Chains A and B, each alone.
Chain A
């Protein structure tokens, strides 16, 4: 029994680290996969900026090197999101979540614009700070229950994870998942978006949905 995510459909044990799919995590994994494939095969948008107060408009071109870097970061972010969906270990979940945060900073920071890089810098500070409650939460789970396995913690009769630890994990994910707000801030200053920025929104949403499942399960 694995709580509210549903019965596991598939398990792949690597020693004490178990990867598994429930109907819930499988749904999220498939979405991460679909969007990662989209990032790989899509060409970026070509932006149009309107000059206010007149009829003029400007078309922006993205350099190949910038596009390659953002694509690499978006793919890495998709892979990290998929990892966070399949893992059955709270420490690995924390690790994948922090990787999602790093990749999201990279996606935004690659744009060579002062405003956009300011947004990326501010998000980087938030993401870095959020690693403290995130990993502290994982460490306290191990200290209080003796295991990091979500499967073990979901068993009836298992030691319950304290409420404040669940709050720490959620706080950590909220910090790492702040990316869409900063990506939106960057877009307002006309950072080229599709299809890379969408990975910021998607990965943040996925890790947020997964942590809700985790804290309601353990």
Chain B
């Protein structure tokens, strides 16, 4: 299992590298090599590490471990076919981790990144609408039950396409350089992760790789179903390429607009699920 976990980290980082490369090519730049994020992770592992004098030391270090811990737990829950609700809970807890990263350093840049993370909580609400819609059809939130349902009734992406779109938007909101990436926009230097450097940043890179892999794997299992391993990897790359197009072609929204757009998406989803509930 550990070797699969390591594979997930490296493949997740590779996906983020592909994301950067595709965005660069769309914008007619050469872009970094696709393994750049993996190199970043190694580079930060060997750079000098410090804790700022203004930081809350214990929290500053603990959030890095918690970030890796929660996504490792999410990875194993998905593999075991566990509850989708726990995965979504972990996804939301990542927000707390971002807030913790920003708060713990004492830096105003980090803090504003953390504050933006809190106010962009609107992006999580479509998750619950997705959960409600999936429950309407599968009568269960266990990933193994959802896969079994799809073997009989076909992929959920064809049954409830708008719910798949809502989940896709949730993944968009977590991708770097996207329209909703307000937590790490450049006017805040690097946002919530500004002060985490050296080994702490390497830990954050590991968390990002794992998070990308887990979210894409969950999306495929929940909306397409069980597929051969090689096909899952191909699908992940394809989804990342589509995400890169969205991120490259949409400008980053202001914090206010970002929350407004996400709230509108949520409102549409609530109406859609209410309609489904009414029809069923």
Chain A interfacial positions (CB closer than 8 Å to B): 4-6, 23-24, 27-28, 31, 34-35, 38, 41-50, 59, 180-181, 183-184, 187-188, 190, 193-195, 197-198, 201-202, 205, 208-209, 212-213, 216
Contacts and interface: CB of A to CB of B under 8 A. Distances in A.
Interface in B99-134: 99-100, 103-108, 111-112, 114-115, 118-119, 121, 128, 131-132
A41 B128 CA distance: 34
A193 B83 contact: no
Contacts of A31: 70, 93
A49 B57 contact: no
Contact of A198 (B73, B100, B106, B141): B100
B132 A184 contact: no
B66 interface: yes
Contact of A216 (B108, B115, B132): B132
B82 A194 contact: no
Contact of A4 (B59, B83, B100, B128): B83
B96 A38 contact: no
9 contacts: A5-B85, A28-B89, A42-B56, A50-B108, A187-B111, A188-B115, A194-B106, A195-B56, A195-B103
B135 interface: yes
Most buried by B among A181, A201, A208: A201
Given A24-B89, A184-B119, A194-B103, 14 more contacts: A4-B83, A4-B141, A34-B66, A38-B58, A42-B62, A44-B56, A47-B106, A195-B56, A198-B59, A198-B96, A198-B99, A205-B95, A212-B128, A216-B135
Given A28-B89, A187-B115, A188-B115, A45 B56 contact: yes
B115 A184 contact: yes
Nearest to B277: A163
Contacts of A187: 103, 111, 114-115
Interface string B53-94: 111111100100010001001000000001101100110110
B140 interface: yes
Contacts of A44: 56
A193 B95 CA distance: 15
Contact of A45 (B82, B96, B103, B121): B103
A42 B58 contact: yes
Interface residues of B, number: 42
A23 B87 CA distance: 12
Contacts of B111: 187, 193
Contacts of B54: 45-48, 59
Nearest to A199: B96
Nearest to A186: B115
A43 B96 contact: no
Contacts of A194: 55-56, 59, 100, 103-104, 106
B83 A5 contact: yes
Contacts, number: 117
Contacts of A6: 83
Contacts of A190: 108
A193 to B, nearest CB: 4
A5 B135 CA distance: 13
A81 to B, nearest CB: 12
Interface string B157-168: 000000000000
A213 B85 contact: yes
Nearest to A204: B121
A38 B115 contact: no
A193 B58 contact: no
Given A47-B106, A181-B119, A188-B115, A205 B56 contact: no
Contact of A205 (B85, B86, B92): B92
Interface string B224-256: 000000000000000000000000000000000
B86 A46 contact: no
A213 B132 CA distance: 11
A184 B95 CA distance: 13
B96 A201 contact: yes
B106 A46 contact: yes
B93 A195 contact: no
Closest 6 CB pairs of A and B: A194-B103, A45-B106, A193-B103, A42-B58, A194-B56, A184-B118
A45 B55 contact: yes
B67 to A, nearest CB: 12
A4 B86 CA distance: 10
